Structure 1
Amino acid sequence: MSLAKQNFSNVVEDSINEQISQEMAASHAYLSIAAFMASDGVALPGFEKFFREQADEERGHAQKLIDYQNKRGGQVILQAVPAPDPEWNSAKNAVESALQMEKGVNKSLLRIEALADENNDAEFVRLLRSEFLKEQVESISEISKLITQLNRVSGDGLGLYLLDQTLLEHGIHGVAGEV
């Protein structure tokens, strides 16, 4: 047992390991979407860039949880990351898939926040609220706005090209109208 472990229940420790796996699975899924966007049949470099950045962000979340688990005296147990299911037939379909994934990650974070609260782990609750849950709300909002923009351009023509170029040059904030 770690000398650092204090007020850190096994239930919370296990849930952190599960969340690490979920964040890594999301990172893999985003890499897969980025590869789809980069393929010669799709050729959307702005979307590719956006999804590569999302993959990095999710991997960063996993690393934060690994670092936190170690800081609290928990044991990091990495699990196999399942292969993503690349069943996208359009940019819009891939972005809709990403939105559902983000909502699933958010649901999982809310579940472990409740577990941490039940186990009187105020420090972990604070971390989840200040860093993870806030970012999830922002990601869900950004991806939702991207879907709205994709609905406006409806299809694979000039509108999609212009949206992709905006993503490439200005990132999601240029598309979502945020500052």
Structure 2
Amino acid sequence: MVKEEVQQLINNLIEIEHVSTTLYLAMSAYLDRKNYTGMAKWLRLQSEEERTHMLTLIDYLAGKDGVVKLSQVPAQPTDFGTPLETFQKVLEHEQYVTNAYRQAYDYIQQVDPQTAVIIQDFLREQIDEEAQASTIVERLKMAGDNPSALLLLDQELGQRNGATPAG
């Protein structure tokens, strides 16, 4: 059976991914309501990706005879501001997630090298997660209040296909 501190660490990461899933789903619903359907689709797929991360961690912990503890997820806001403000929140959240995985990796590599490999895969993926969010934020800044530019960016983001698995 997996050590208690490893279970706690993985359960904390499961909770972070669970919150990420619901946060991005709430953002998707918000932007869909504002008729930014491409951005809404992008965030819906991001929500699915975070759910996949959560399930991967659950399966890993359960596969090691660990105890999975799913805690209650806080209610998410229903208003996220402009598309720029929404994606700035996405970037801030991805930076928070990266920091959580970095701290987990720093700790776990000394305690459980096998689990460290799993955590490292997620940490590696966070490089791309932050880069995507940062690019979208910068492009939204360039678009400013120009409706044509916003709609073009919305259309581009709507062309995203499927969530990609971790690792």
In the superposition, the TM-score normalised over structure 2's length comes to: 0.92
Residue of 124, 130, 135 corresponding to 1:145: 135
- Once superposed, which parts of structure 1, at least 4 consecutive aligned residues long, lie more than 4 Å away? none
Q: Distance in 2 between matches of 1:30 and 1:156?
A: 25
Question: What does residue range 44-83 of structure 1 map to in structure 2 within 5 Å?
Answer: 44-83=36-75
- The sequence identity of aligned pairs, in percent, is 26
Contact kept? 1:98, 1:143, Cα under 8 Å: yes
Alignment partner, residue 25 of structure 1? 19
Alignment partner, residue 167 of structure 1? 157
Q: Please report how far the alpha carbon of residue 9 of structure 1 lies from its aligned counterpart in structure 2 after TM superposition.
A: 2.2
Q: Please give the secondary structure, in 2, of the residue aligned with 1:76.
A: coil
Q: Please give the secondary structure, in 1, of the residue aligned with 2:35.
A: coil
Q: Distance in 2 between matches of 1:83 and 1:102?
A: 19
**RMSD, aligned CA:** 1.3
Residue of 96, 106, 123 corresponding to 1:104: 96
In the alignment, structure 1 residue 89 sits paired with structure 2 residue 65: no
Residue type matched to 2:140 in 1? L
Alignment partner, residue 165 of structure 2? none
Contact kept? 1:34, 1:51, Cα under 8 Å: yes
Q: Distance in 1 between matches of 2:73 and 2:141?
A: 32
Residue type matched to 2:8 in 1? D
Q: Please report how far the alpha carbon of residue 90 of structure 1 lies from its aligned counterpart in structure 2 after TM superposition.
A: 0.4
- If asked which structure has higher relative contact order (CA below 8 Å, sep 6+), I would say 2
Q: Distance in 2 between matches of 1:58 and 1:88?
A: 19
In the alignment, structure 1 residue 117 sits paired with structure 2 residue 109: yes
Contact kept? 1:11, 1:115, Cα under 8 Å: no
Contact kept? 1:103, 1:140, Cα under 8 Å: yes
Residue type matched to 2:139 in 1? Q
Residue type matched to 2:99 in 1? K
Contact kept? 2:30, 2:79, Cα under 8 Å: no
Please, which runs of 5 or more residues in structure 2 have no aligned partner? 162-167
Please, which runs of 5 or more residues in structure 1 have no aligned partner? 173-179
In the superposition, the TM-score normalised over structure 1's length comes to: 0.86
Alignment partner, residue 127 of structure 1? 118
Q: Distance in 1 between matches of 2:103 and 2:75?
A: 24
Q: Distance in 1 between matches of 2:11 and 2:153?
A: 37
Q: Distance in 1 between matches of 2:79 and 2:4?
A: 37
Q: Distance in 2 between matches of 1:153 and 1:92?
A: 9
Contact kept? 1:30, 1:51, Cα under 8 Å: yes
